[in-house]
Structure 1
Amino acid sequence: MKAFVCTLFILLFVSGCSATWSGVQQDTTDAVQWTKGQVNQGANYVKDKTE
């Protein structure tokens, strides 16, 4: 019984970690894309003001 409970706990822990890791990857990708957009907007603003 003890082995079953330990196995169940490990399976739940691993599945939770994989979902969390996917969420972290997606959040990081979204943040990188947002940052690229903001940098691009800033560069275009500076370019327009210096021309």
Structure 2
Amino acid sequence: MGRRSRDDGEAWIAVELRVPRWAAWCAAVGLLLMGAAALGGVTVLTWAVAR
């Protein structure tokens, strides 16, 4: 918790996941691909509306 007081209005939640390294990499790559797809979708929609 460090040196923070208990009444500072912040909640600290620690989550420990025990997963294989390959699973963590797959999740990270999947999140990056989904983010890129979302950004691409927004870009295409913006371009289509602007035409």
Normalising by the residue count of structure 1, what TM-score does the alignment of the two structures yield?
0.62
Greater length-normalized contact order (CA 8 Å, ≥ 6 residues apart) = 2
* Number of aligned positions between the proteins: 33
Which consecutive residues of structure 2, in runs of 5 or more, have no partner in the other structure? Answer: 1-18
Which protein has the larger Cα radius of gyration, Structure 1 or Structure 2?
Answer: 1
Normalising by the residue count of structure 2, what TM-score does the alignment of the two structures yield?
0.62
C-alpha RMSD of the superposition: 1.2
Q: Show structure 1 runs of 4+ deviating over 6 A.
A: none
| % identical equivalent positions | 0
Normalized per residue, the structure richer in helix is 1
Which consecutive residues of structure 1, in runs of 5 or more, have no partner in the other structure? Answer: 1-16
